[in-house]
Amino acid sequence: MRTVSEIKSYNFIGGGAPASNTISFSGKGEVSAAPDLATVSFTIRESAGDIKSAQSKVTAKESAVLDFLDNSGIAKKDIKTENYSSYPKYDYGTPCYGLGMPCRPEAPKIIGYEVSEYVSVKVHDLTKAGEIIQGIGAAGVSEINGPDFSIENEEGLKEQARKMAIDEAKVKAKSLSRDLGVRLVRIVNFSENGDYPVYPMYEKSMMATADSAGGVPAPTLPMGENKITSNVTITYEIR
């Protein structure tokens, strides 16, 4: 709580003349809910002597993963290529240190190409998250991240948290104004911050190999709960 007096100029909610005596109250609201969406991402990375061969390797592995995801009931709209890149690999030769004699460094030579594709997958059936990770690894992908558990539509929860925070601030205002012997005239300012989702922490990266599914059960992935928090400040004119 903080009191501010003799404010000369400010833009207040509701307009009108600036209030000369104000008092501010803070409130916090927090809502918890179980996640309903898991996001798994992976990178396919391949090298070859020429770029076409490297791209073909990536495409072949991508096709295997997409077939697996389709057979697992993942909709095409939930699979997205986030990034696709290719670049040459160089041999810079033997370092040239001079050693007191004239030395000319070798020009770098292209010895091959590396191609990578980064893909994200939304999994709505959270019970399948472990199987999806296992299957992607079995398709030969060695860089897998996730799952990141989240709530697909957080707006409703944000509104709930905001209302709780506002109600708390109003209760404080009524109680303290009575104790101080002042009258609340009108709300002259409102601010909100910190209404960000707080996600449960998990190990977000796991390495898999092409034969990782051979007799190995899918990983068990605790989902926990996500928290949405809202912090508000309400400023009143008082008399």
**Residue ranges of the alpha helices (H) in the chain?**
51-71, 129-138, 155-180
| C-beta of residue 149 within 8 angstroms of C-beta of residue 199 | yes
* Choice between 153 and 94, residue whose per-residue pLDDT is larger: 153
Asked if 53 and 141 sit in the same domain, the reply is yes
In this prediction, residue 1 carries a pLDDT of 43
Q: Are residues 66 and 127 in the same domain?
A: yes
181 and 161 in one domain? Answer: yes
Same domain, 137 and 56: yes
Cα angle, residue 192 at apex, residues 148 and 194 outer, rounded to 5° = 30
**72 and 86 co-located in one domain:** yes
Average pLDDT over residues 165-170: 96
Q: Is 51 found in the same domain as 9?
A: no
Residue 98, CB half-sphere, CA atoms under 13 Å: how many? 1
CATH code, 74: 3.30.70.2970
Q: What is the pLDDT of residues 121-158, one digit of tens each?
A: 999 999 999 999 999 999 999 899 989 999 988 899 99
Do 174 and 131 have their domain in common?
A: no
The encoded tokens of residue 144 equal 């897998």
Q: Mean pLDDT over residues 206-221, rounded?
A: 53
Same-domain check for residues 72 and 132: yes
Domain presence at residue 166: yes
Residues ≥6 apart with Cβ < 8 Å to 81: 117, 118, 119
Q: What is the mean pLDDT of the chain?
A: 83
At 121, which helix (H) or strand (E)? Answer: strand 109-123
**Spatial contact of 174 and 184, defined as CB atoms under 8 Å apart:** yes
Does 220 fall in a domain? no
- From 150, 165, 182, the end of a domain falls on 150
- Indicate if the pLDDT at residue 108 is higher than 80: yes
The more confidently predicted of residues 105 and 41 is 41
Q: Is the pLDDT of residue 66 over 80?
A: yes
pLDDT band at 206 (very low <50, low <70, confident <90, very high): very low
